[in-house]
Amino acid sequence: MANRIFLILFAALSVLQCKAVMPVLFGETLPDTDGKHVNAHGGNILKVDSVYYWYGESRGDSIAGFRQYGVACYTSSDLRNWQNRGLVFETSSQVGSPVESGCLMERPKVVYCPATGRYVMWFHHELKDRGYAAAQAAVATADNPLGPFHFSHSGRVNPGIYPLNMPQTDAAYNTALEWWTPEWRAEIERGMFVERDLESGQMARDQTIFIDTDGKAYHVYSSEDNLTLQIAELDSTYEKHTGRYIRIFPGGHNEAPALFRHGGKYWMVTSGCTGWDPNEARLLCADSVMGEWTQLPNPCRGENAARTFNGQSAYIYSDGQGGFTFMADIWRPKNLADSRHIWLPIQFDADGIPYIQAP
Ligand code: DGJ
């Protein structure tokens, strides 16, 4: 009951106040100003002056909705009415291009870089016809939030460099070990896959970009065959890694990272690893982005909390005034364009621990 009252108050305030407040979304279709469901998934919202830009995966009409033509952008002045501004980054028709039509561009995140004056888009990049094997991180940049974004580079992360929190001598890649055995798990924890991928660079799949209050940016991604999260520092252009990175929860199978900072702590919501199917969200906490991170119980509460309300974290939007919104996708793998949106306010308990309440 108390929670219902909170949500009604939250909605009422959003109408009364002049400033735009994130509405609650909970899986219904979200028509844009043309009446079509907003086809932007796994992305983020960036506010520039008084305009909100919502970037996300634009999912297509073939191969069971798998096909992607680019990254979509919708704009709004009130976070409620969204205008489709088309694709701000497009796949290429040029054969052999890294972003040749047929590639995947998942979980795009766009940030503004004060040092360069450029808008920087990072995304999980998979090469055409290679499924999820490439596991690369790609960057595209633009001078304008509406693009067009131009492809800059793509690849594995930090080739030839060991994580800060893994002694170089710790693990040797051992192909003889049978997967999922205790011996294999122990070697995964010691960094067997870091060693395997050392020369080519670390795998990067589900990802996000987090900018700290000091302006430093971090790339957080599922690595090591999705078994381990890595956090890599970006340089002042936000376009390149500095080479400083850590691994967290080795073997913990975390996907869909979404971060925010509140109450002097860094918080991260992740999911487990079950493809397009929902699972229980995890809450991670640290005093510093570069660790140590600890895990707390599931932050979701209410109906379907054990399945993240049937969704998977995409981003945590900060309004810059202490308000945070949990953004998630309810994936519809048979028609990904029709995947639904969850936007719920992050609340804090008496101990300052964040939680997300079903409406
Ligand atoms: C879960 C990821 O979070 C999604 O972004 C997508 O890569 C699917 N897996 C693919 O199965």
Q: Tens of pLDDT along 255-288?
A: 999 999 999 999 999 999 999 999 999 999 999 9
> Is residue 339 very low, low, confident or very high in pLDDT (cuts 50, 70, 90)?
very high
Give residues (CB < 6 A) around ligand 1. Answer: 42, 106-107, 206, 255-256, 275-276, 312
The b-or-e profile of 312-341 (16+ CB within 10 A means b, else e) is bbbbbbbeeeeebbbbbbbbbeeebbebbb
Indicate the length of the chain as a whole number: 359
pTM of the model: 0.93
Does the pLDDT at position 175 exceed 60? yes
Q: Tens of pLDDT along 71-122?
A: 999 999 999 999 999 999 999 999 999 999 999 999 999 999 999 999 999 9
Q: Tens of pLDDT along 186-204?
A: 999 999 999 999 999 999 9
Question: Cβ neighbours of residue 347 under 8 Å, at least 6 residues apart?
Answer: 6, 354, 355, 356, 357
Residue with CA closest to ligand 1 atom 1: 275
Q: Cα 188 from chain centroid?
A: 24
pLDDT at position 120 is 98
> Residues 170, 188: contact at Cβ < 8 Å?
no
Q: What are phi and psi of 54, to 5 degrees?
A: -110, 110
Does the pLDDT at position 25 exceed 80? yes
Ligand 1 pocket check: which of 67, 107, 136, 255 to mutate, most ligand atoms within 8 Å of Cβ? 255
**The pair of three-digit structure tokens given for residue 355, joined into one six-digit string:** 């939680």
Q: Tens of pLDDT along 38-65?
A: 999 999 999 999 999 999 999 986 655 5
Beta strand 207-211 pairing with 51-59: unpaired
Closest CA to 205 of 141, 270, 150, 267: 270
Does the pLDDT at position 70 exceed 90? yes
> Residues 185, 111: contact at Cβ < 8 Å?
no
Ligand 1 pocket check: which of 222, 331, 334, 339 to mutate, most ligand atoms within 8 Å of Cβ? 331
Percent of the chain's residues with pLDDT above 90? 87
The angle formed by the CA atoms of residues 68, 77 and 111, to the nearest 5 degrees, is: 50
Q: Cα 133 from chain centroid?
A: 19
